Amino acid sequence: MTSLALDPPTGPHPLERAVRRSERRRRLVALLLMAPSVLFAVAVFAVPIGLFLFRAIENDGIPQRLPRTTAAVQAWDGGDLPSAAAFDALADEILALKGTPELAQLGRRLNYVVPGYRSLMMGTARRLDAAQVATLDAEATRARLIEADERWADPAFWMPLKQQSGPLTTFYLETALDFERTPSGELVSVPAERAIFIDLFVRTFQTGLATTVLCLLIGFPVAAVMARASGSLANLMLALVLIPFWTSLLVRTTAWVILLQNEGLVNKTLLFLGLVDQPLQLVFNRFGVYVAMVHVLLPYMILPLYSVMKGVSADHLRAASSLGAKPFMAFRTVYLPLVMPGVAAGSALVFVLAIGFYVTPALVGGASDQMIGYFIAYFTNTSVNWGLASALGAILLGLIALIYLVLGWAIGLDRLKVR
């Protein structure tokens, strides 16, 4: 306090100023060093992911290609049929798109909502004649459209034009969760025979959970033995865990296809031992998926467990038993709480990695063993429905973010490292 009074009233001491200046310069250098990689990660990672996720809610194509129709349909109450003005606008706008690839794109987009819409659009465009429509008034255009295709008299085909006229849509997210809209706009679950995505989420979760539990049950004793082993033996065991960890996931999956196929080593051995009469179907089904996934993910369980277990001194257990605890009691009340962070970290890593798997189920699973990742790829490449691919991706990413948030709060994210 007294030194403050002694300071000259003209401002900070020159030395203090110099320190501040050098501090500022240091901070600037640090920022400049970070800038290239942060900008790179934004440009090549964050922006693509953001644009991808935005597709899940972007209403691509309907209001852009049918601006007048979607505006005119807004006045419609969803009951009988829209006004003649809406029919008039639709006929004009279909004719404007006739012969361009945009008509097919629009038809495909609407086909996601109501099957048959694509053929309706293409057929209507083919049957309408621009010169003729120009001479008709709105009422006559309505009659002409219904004559061209009577589906235009069905309100179900008008509903998507009313419901999806904004710049954003919840349609893809609803579809990805097996919901649909009734003609009056209510959100209802789709009938069980058409529901596919809830099953897909349940299957992904089941596969992830089963893989995690199997990895924990197998990995826990192995990690415990490794942690108690002496120097060179522990090193050997660590090497045996690291060899598969360092081997390409693709190579390991390939190896399981070779091992488990009908003429593979496993079936040959079983036949030779007389345990089976004919080869078992071990691959391209759920069994193959579990074997390969547990094999790929086991090191992610063993390594965090091992590093935590190595830090637990055997003295704790000895102390517990000297106080009269039976082995199981000592394990449950002393050892397990101490290694719990490793259990949590390993299980979380395995689960999060498992629910995002794509290559392994694609190569060793059958059609009914595929998980969310496969369908994201499928809706991107095969059945081109990018909105739905994005919606599935957004839901998967949301789940994973939630898991990380909970983990960050419970055990700290820096524990989630393998080595």
Partner 1 sequence: MAARSIRTRGERVGRLAVLAFTGLVLVFLVAPVFVVVPLSFTDSEILVFPLPGWSLRWYEDFFTNPLWTGALYNSFAIGLSVTVLATVLGTTAALGLHASRFRLKPVALGLLMAPLAVPVVIVAVAMFYFFARIGLLGTFPGMVLAHTVLALPFVVVTVLATLQGFDPTVVRAAASLGASPLFGFRTVTLPIIAPGVVSGALFAFVTSFDELVVTIFIASPRQRTLPRQIFSGVSENLSPTVTAAAVVLIVVCMSLMIAVELLRRRSARLQGKAQ
146 binds partner 1 (CB under 8 A): no
Site map 363..402 versus partner 1, x via CB under 8 A = x---------x--xx--xx----x--x---x--xx--x--
316 binds partner 1 (CB under 8 A): no
242 binds partner 1 (CB under 8 A): yes
24 binds partner 1 (CB under 8 A): no
Residue 90, token pair as written in the block? 């639709």
What's the CA gap between 335 and 24, in Å, rounded? 49
Q: Provide φ and ψ at 168, rounded to 5°.
A: -120, 155
Closer to partner 1 by Cβ: residue 83 or 254: 254
Q: Is 328 exposed, middle or buried (0-12, 13-18, 19+ CB in 10 A)?
A: exposed
75 binds partner 1 (CB under 8 A): no
What's the CA gap between 297 and 218, in Å, rounded? 11
Site for partner 1 in 189-218 (CB under 8 A): 218
Stretch that binds partner 1, among 87-95, 134-142, 279-287, 355-363 (CB under 8 A): 355-363
Residue 73: partners with Cβ closer than 8 Å, 6 or more residues away: 82, 86, 158, 161, 162, 165
340 binds partner 1 (CB under 8 A): no
Beta carbon of residue 190, minimum distance to partner 1 (angstroms, whole number): 25
156 binds partner 1 (CB under 8 A): no
Q: Is 339 within 8 Å of 305 (Cβ atoms)?
A: yes
Q: Is 150 within 8 Å of 144 (Cβ atoms)?
A: no
What's the CA gap between 312 and 304, in Å, rounded? 13
Q: Which of 11, 14, 36, 99 touches partner 1 by CB under 8 A? A: 36
Site map 395..414 versus partner 1, x via CB under 8 A = -xx--x---x----------
What's the CA gap between 329 and 342, in Å, rounded? 20
48 binds partner 1 (CB under 8 A): yes
Catalogue the long-range contacts made by 350-353 (C-beta closer than 8 Å, 24 or more residues apart): 350/211, 350/212, 350/215, 350/216, 350/297, 350/300, 350/301, 351/208, 351/209, 351/211, 351/212, 351/403, 352/400, 352/403, 352/404, 353/297, 353/300
263 binds partner 1 (CB under 8 A): yes
How many of the chain's residues bind partner 1 (CB under 8 A)? 81
301 binds partner 1 (CB under 8 A): no
252 binds partner 1 (CB under 8 A): yes
112 binds partner 1 (CB under 8 A): no
Q: Which of 51, 134, 168, 406 touches partner 1 by CB under 8 A? A: 51
Closer to partner 1 by Cβ: residue 76 or 404: 404
CA triplet 118, 174, 197: central angle to 5 degrees? 90
Site for partner 1 in 215-234 (CB under 8 A): 218-219, 221-222, 224-226
Closer to partner 1 by Cβ: residue 13 or 228: 228
